[in-house]
Chains A and B, each alone.
Chain A
Amino acid sequence: MAKKTIREAINEALRQEMARDPDVIIIGEDVSGGAGGSGEEDAYGGVMGVTKGLIGEFGRERVIDTPISESAIMGAAAGAATTGLRPVAELMFVDFVGVCFDQIMNQAAKFRYMFGGKARTPMVLRTMIGAGFRAAAQHSQSLYHLFTAVPGLKCVIPSNAYDAKGLMIQAIRDDDPVIFFEHKALYDIADDVPDEAYTIPFGEANFTRDGDDVTIVAFSRMVHIANEVADKLGREGVSVEVLDPRTSSPLDTDSILESVEKTGRLVIVDESAARCGLAGDIAGMVAQEGFEFLRAPIRQVTVPHTPVPFAPTLEDAYIPSPAKVETAVRQLLEARPRRMSA
């Protein structure tokens, strides 16, 4: 099986679905790039090159460069989706949602419910998340928690190329609006990815490491950090299970609870937010549904409650590090089991 990067895997998913279904279009800023310029067409293929080459195959009618008008892009995708297309819209950086959230949150997400179950809005919104690029406060956030909080949206947060392809194809074929979060630091990570089209269902976690002592739940880039810690501690005889939910909405709560029932200890590593983020959400769920499984307090390793800083020293300290995750795991192992009062 060929090794493909996440960039290549998503590109392949888009190409295969566009070839299969003429209703699939791509719309966004610089998704090809070069429209109206004096140089070459497909100059960008998306700022990270994810949609490169698609215009050559499918033409400008299906790979649509837009003005820098995020509300119009999101609304056009939502309106096109309810009327018969399957648009894959791009919000270049998730940080830009501040200028267009209405079209996602109040429009696309609510059509089905608000219209009494009569509407379908099969759109995919691809967007980029993640710190680590020295891109500072307005190009580095991981705002998937905002979208996860909105009923009507599905949220996909892949960590590897195999998942990215299968989840993207599922997202395009899905009849609900799906937000697909791509971490900018992961595009070049390669995995074995089948050439043929395949889907991965939403709401099914992937266990990237099996273990008995501690459960780590992590999304996106944080899965790699969790794996690194699990491998290191594994050499010391500590057995860490790593669970990648892959989608935050729907969330595979059953798998999380099963794992915590087995290990009795939970660390959640999350780049979204210190407050009202995915870590807090999952911790609350486990505290409510699985309190009796816990042998130690739940630990959340998150970004701090600050904007993403610019200076390398500060940004490095902002991102949850393997050292912080390792410390959290060790603290849980050292914690004495709670004494239950009679």
Chain B
Amino acid sequence: MTTFSESQLLDAYRRMRTIRDFEERIHAENTTGDIPGFVHLYAGQEAIATGVCIHLSEKDYIGSTHRGHGHCIAKLCDVKGMMKEIFGKQGGLCAGKGGSMHIADLSQGMLGANAIVGGNPPLAVGAALTAKTKKTRHCAVSFTGDGGSNQGTTFEAMNMAVVLKLPVLFVVENNGYGEGTGADYAVGSRDIAGRAAGFGMPAVRVDGTDFFAVAEAAGEAIERARNGGGPSAIEAVALRFYGHYEGDPQTYRSAEELKRIREEGDCMKIFRARVTGEGTLTEAQLDAIDAEVAELIEEAVAEARAADYPPVSELTTDVYVSY
């Protein structure tokens, strides 16, 4: 059983709280029409990104999805840079050229949100190949969803990782829906972890609303990867609070389900109840973090709104290193 120090738990809570507030604020800001394009919110799944990334340093790599804000924050990407990017502004993590679905911060080991479902597992395999070739003891994590788990790229990446014995962890976040189609319908075996195990790697299914369950499984898998034990997979189940995209009327799921998720499947409430119940953290400590995060998000939005859009002269820059 992994035990976490007080500071680690505070850190985990801060990451989760930041993701939740960030996403709820984007949900609100999006209604103003000032955010270009479309956004996909991670709220409800905070314990998964955090439970995994709490074990990683900036030298470890993660690949993410179109629902990538949570992975970025859990991997400690700059929140203000993220907000500017989502607003398409100068000073954004990708200089306003990527947007919500392409936020990346290589200096933090964040290889990018990825708007192609199933796009990142092969890339995470590549990052793991670098770690193995250079013998760094670093590892790579691929985050995908139940939708991405049905892509051939995911199968290829899992098999290749086993064949080459690469230090990579495949985290499949089963949030119940691939866009508007239920995972119980679209995942033929209804057992994503079992399917991963079929490729020849240790794979477990965990409650994705329980930070401790995710962190336990991820810690074990990442340790195995660092020690040359090859890849692992985790299927983490946690339903998303919001729609596939902002504006999704979510007619494919019932009002009762949405209500139940918030009441029974809120990882923030579950975390808070556990740490205060066990006496490892106090309400006051958590409230203090809530206040700091609220201030950070407020500043991030204000700065993003105040920032300029990139000048048209940047349209043709950075296509190549040299050309």
Contact = CB atoms under 8 A, between A and B. Distances in A.
A103 interface: yes
The size class of the interface chain A forms with chain B is 35 or more
A116 interface: yes
B228 interface: no
Contacts of B107: 118
B231 interface: no
B97 interface: yes
Interface in A121-140: none
Given A61-B133, A67-B159, A115-B104, A75 B98 contact: no
Interface in A37-79: 61-62, 64, 66-67, 69, 71-79
A74 B93 CA distance: 26
B254 interface: no
B92 A69 contact: no
A75 B125 contact: yes
B127 interface: yes
B95 A116 contact: yes
A34 interface: no
A69 B163 CA distance: 12
A118 to B, nearest CB: 6
Given A72-B153, A115-B106, A117-B317, A79 B119 contact: no
A257 interface: no
A80 B119 contact: no
A118 B116 contact: no
Given A81-B126, A106-B119, A69 B159 contact: yes
Contact of B319 (A77, A81, A151): A151
A112 interface: yes
Nearest to B90: A116
A79 B319 contact: no
A78 B160 CA distance: 15
A74 B116 CA distance: 15
A246 interface: no
Interface in B129-160: 129-131, 133-134, 140, 152-153, 156-157, 159-160
A19 to B, nearest CB: 16
A116 B157 contact: no
Interface stretch (A82-90, A141-149, A160-168, A273-281): A82-90
Nearest to A64: B164
Contact of B112 (A27, A103, A111): A111
A250 B126 contact: no
Contacts of A25: 129, 133
Contacts of B319: 112-113, 151-152
Contacts of A106: 115-116, 119
A107 interface: yes
A90 to B, nearest CB: 14
Contacts of A71: 122, 152-153, 156-157
Contacts of A186: none
A83 B114 CA distance: 17
Nearest to A103: B122
A271 interface: no
Contacts of A151: 319
A109 to B, nearest CB: 9
A78 B140 CA distance: 14
A339 B237 CA distance: 74
A73 B131 CA distance: 16
B26 to A, nearest CB: 20
Interface string A93-106: 00000010011001
A68 B52 CA distance: 30
Contact of B122 (A75, A111, A115, A176): A75
A211 to B, nearest CB: 30
Given A115-B104, A116-B93, A176 B321 contact: yes
A118 B126 contact: no
Contact of A85 (B119, B129, B157): B129
Give the 9 A-B residue pairs with the shortest CB-CB distance, closest first: A75-B122, A79-B126, A116-B95, A117-B318, A79-B123, A116-B94, A72-B156, A69-B156, A80-B126
24 contacts: A27-B129, A72-B156, A72-B160, A75-B122, A76-B160, A79-B124, A79-B129, A81-B126, A82-B106, A83-B127, A84-B134, A85-B133, A87-B129, A107-B114, A107-B123, A112-B319, A112-B320, A114-B112, A115-B94, A115-B102, A116-B97, A120-B321, A154-B323, A250-B323
